[in-house]
A and B are shown apart, each in its own frame.
Chain A
Amino acid sequence: MSEEKVSKLKDYLTSYLFIIPAVLLFSVFSIYPIFKILQLSLLKWDGISLYPKFVGLKNFIEVIKDKIWWKSFLNAGIITLLALTVQNALALVLAIIVDKDIRAGEIYRVIFYIPPVLSGIVVGLIWNWIYNYDYGFLNHFLEVIGLGGLKRAWLSDPKLALFSVAVVHMWKGFGWGFIIFLAGLQTIPRNLYEAAQIDGATPWKTFLHVVVPMMRPVFFLVSILTILGTMQIYDIIVATTGGGPGYATEVPITRILSSMLGSSRFGYACAEGLIFGVVLLAVSLIQLRISAMMRNE
């Protein structure tokens, strides 16, 4: 073997040696669990017994037939849609305002970032108090301003429960979008705004023709994070409605946990988890594809 080849081989080996720890960690904590879940999803297992029974694809077939499972998907989808539109629109507006060198901008940055760093359970408990029918702040406020007729059981009314939970989620989540949008806005060169102003562009036109094109990658990043984060909503649901009333606020994660800990159907829960993962992966891939297509336009 020539000296050059030996040197190249040494280089390769050294490089691989450096990535071994990362590969090992990734394999143990990411790859192995995926295969383990796949294996468990083919079994009928209560999580305790030493002899699980192989049932093939039965768990997957049952999950696909389970109407409540798909309802939970729909519920999470509705919350995601609201988060994508209302939450992100609010985050963007606030980011644009704070980007305009307003007075005490730093303070607003901190204030808007407080809800995301709070625990979902804590946020849920705070909003439980706000929404309480008898002594909650919201109903009390409505009465004070003369709108007592709008008093509702916000979390126990099946028509309102999902939207009430979505509001809590959006309140908790808009800070993330705000910070990312603000970071994106600050990368736009100021001279582009100045050029637009000289050309006589209105603020709306500046937004459409300067901000939107420059922020496209940021919009995609925020929307992917919003979809993935919101579809996996769990803690707020547990702290506010527990998935009720009935199945009104059930989401995929509460269903998976209910199968696992409530019914002790670990195999079924793993099948639910895999289907959920595949759907999320598909959504992310579609979105990346759209993003790539729009970049090429």
Chain B
Amino acid sequence: MIYIFLISLFFITSCAKKTEEREIVIWHWMTDREDAFSRLAQEFMVERGIKVKFELYAPSEVYSQKVRAAAQTNTLPDIFGILGSPRDFASFIKAGFVEDLTMYMEENNGKWKNSFYPQAIETVSFKDGNMYGVKPGIYGIPIDMMNIQMICNTEILKKAGIEKIPETWEEYVDAGRKLKKKGINVFVSGWGEVWLLEAMATSFAFNIMGPEKVFNTFKGEVPYTDPDWIKVFSLFDTMRKEGLFIKDSITMVNKTAEQMFANGRSAFTFNGSWCINVYKGMNPNLKYSPCLLPKVNRGNPVYIWGGSGSWFVVNSKSKYKKEAIEFLKWLTSSQQQKFLTEETMNLPSNKDAAEKLKGLLKEFALGMKYVTHPNFWPVHETPEVIEKFDKGIQLILIGKKTPFQVAKELDKYKKEQLKE
């Protein structure tokens, strides 16, 4: 009797295996998108019969560590995001964890690829002759777009009698002086998170000397003591001398800076397009507008950091690679992108979805014309030099070092690195 029961049980379990449910597992860190992603997953299940499970790991540092650990133990999910520099992205690709998606993107005369903003694709691509030796191709799927701009509180500017939003550095300093006279804080930023300093400084550098010269500096062909770099560092020195920023900005985290700006404690800030949702939560009545960075060199265009805000990659060892790509195609189609934009107030990566943007989203979307991002750059500075660069600017901002001292030290360090 027991024997018959066991045999039946074996057959039942065997049959159950045959109807195994396909389930795509996605790891992400985007707390603000958790609900929207869950709803989209349910919709996809109804539409295509494939289960999608979003797993949230936050904050981003924890997520980053989890992905690295999973790579070492070969337990990465079907779809995941990579946080970090282009160097880290390249390492994941070279280690064979990321699927090359070029073929899928180019299908049907590049229909999928052409649905994205070109800058979004650039963020997740490696070009021929890239410095990491990665095979040229598209390795990620952009979920949304972002750009980092100067943002101004329009009400405060009006109160201070500043009718025109400053477009040049001189106009900005002038506006700052007027604001100070009225006892208004000029600028707040979360410079304690040094990447914001780096974004601001390199954007100024691109405007002052043009991208080529910046890249040549990274290659070691132009020294940091070049007058153009001194000019970049001097902008921060001017900000210090003129008192154009809230003192605590130097060690402030961006969340606090966002809170201060949302509460009307400063006329300007430097933040990414993700701030729309943040400010809406902090102060729905805040009147503000993105306004690019002030031009230092009027002869050159303005540059701002931007591109794909968040993007997913497909695990090259996934059992459900085909299904994962099918889901990502669906997720980045116009309808789903519109839904995500409405729910999370992030700029869509799909061009069609971006066509009917309104209000602040539209204003931020206009900035996409000016974007640059380390992921697009053909060469990158080493993380050690970047740290010295960011910390050096902090030292200028606190008046501990002059622009020339920082430039000289940076140059010396860069040369030592090149020797190694």
Contact = CB atoms under 8 A, between A and B. Distances in A.
Interface of A: 46-50, 128, 131-135, 153, 155-158, 161, 240-242, 244-247, 258, 261-265
Given A48-B92, A242-B193, A263-B384, 10 more contacts: A48-B68, A131-B248, A133-B246, A155-B248, A157-B247, A158-B400, A241-B192, A245-B400, A246-B394, A258-B387
Contacts of B193: 242
A120 B60 CA distance: 19
Contacts of B260: 134
B247 A246 contact: no
Given A48-B95, A246-B391, A263-B384, A158 B87 contact: no
B72 to A, nearest CB: 8
A262 B91 contact: no
B277 interface: no
B91 A264 contact: yes
A161 B397 CA distance: 15
A154 B97 CA distance: 46
Given A46-B88, A261-B61, A261-B64, A134 B185 contact: yes
B391 A161 contact: no
Count chain A CB atoms within 10 A of each CB in B251, B253, B391 and give the residue with the most.
B251
Nearest to B69: A47
A258 B388 CA distance: 12
> 5 closest Cβ contacts across the A-B interface?
A263-B383, A153-B247, A48-B91, A241-B251, A242-B192
Nearest to B397: A245
B139 to A, nearest CB: 14
A158 B64 CA distance: 31
Contacts of B96: 50
Task: State the majority secondary structure of interface residues on B.
Answer: helix
Nearest to B390: A244
B65 interface: yes
B398 interface: yes
A264 B383 contact: yes
B92 A156 contact: no
B66 interface: no
Nearest to A153: B247
Nearest to A47: B68
A163 B71 CA distance: 41
Given A153-B248, A245-B394, A46 B61 contact: no
A244 B394 contact: yes
A261 B85 CA distance: 10
A261 B256 CA distance: 23
B398 A158 contact: yes
B251 to A, nearest CB: 4
Nearest to B263: A135
A264 B391 CA distance: 18
B250 interface: yes
A135 B247 CA distance: 12
A133 B397 CA distance: 16
B398 A263 contact: no
B162 interface: no
B84 interface: yes
Contacts of B248: 131-134, 153, 155-156
B213 interface: no
A178 B384 CA distance: 42
23 contacts: A48-B68, A48-B92, A49-B95, A131-B248, A132-B248, A134-B246, A134-B248, A134-B260, A153-B248, A155-B248, A156-B247, A156-B248, A156-B249, A156-B251, A156-B398, A241-B251, A244-B194, A244-B251, A246-B391, A261-B61, A263-B387, A264-B85, A265-B383
Contact of B84 (A158, A244, A247, A264): A264
B134 interface: no
A48 B398 CA distance: 37
Contact of B395 (A133, A135, A245, A262): A245
Interface string B230-262: 000000000000000011111101001000100
A241 B248 CA distance: 9
Contacts of B51: none
Nearest to A51: B95
Contacts of B382: 263
Interface string B32-65: 0000000000000000000000000000010011
B402 to A, nearest CB: 13
Nearest to B83: A261
Contacts of A240: 251
B135 interface: no
Contacts of A247: 391
A262 B386 CA distance: 10
A183 B398 CA distance: 46
A244 B92 contact: no
B95 A246 contact: no
A153 B382 CA distance: 32
B91 A135 contact: no
A246 B398 contact: yes
Interface string B117-143: 000000000000000000000000000
A190 to B, nearest CB: 50
B198 to A, nearest CB: 12
B94 interface: yes
A31 to B, nearest CB: 20
B188 to A, nearest CB: 9
Nearest to A136: B248
Contacts of B265: 134-135
B385 to A, nearest CB: 10
A264 B84 CA distance: 9
B82 to A, nearest CB: 9
A246 B383 contact: no
A153 B397 CA distance: 13
Nearest to A240: B251
A133 B95 contact: no
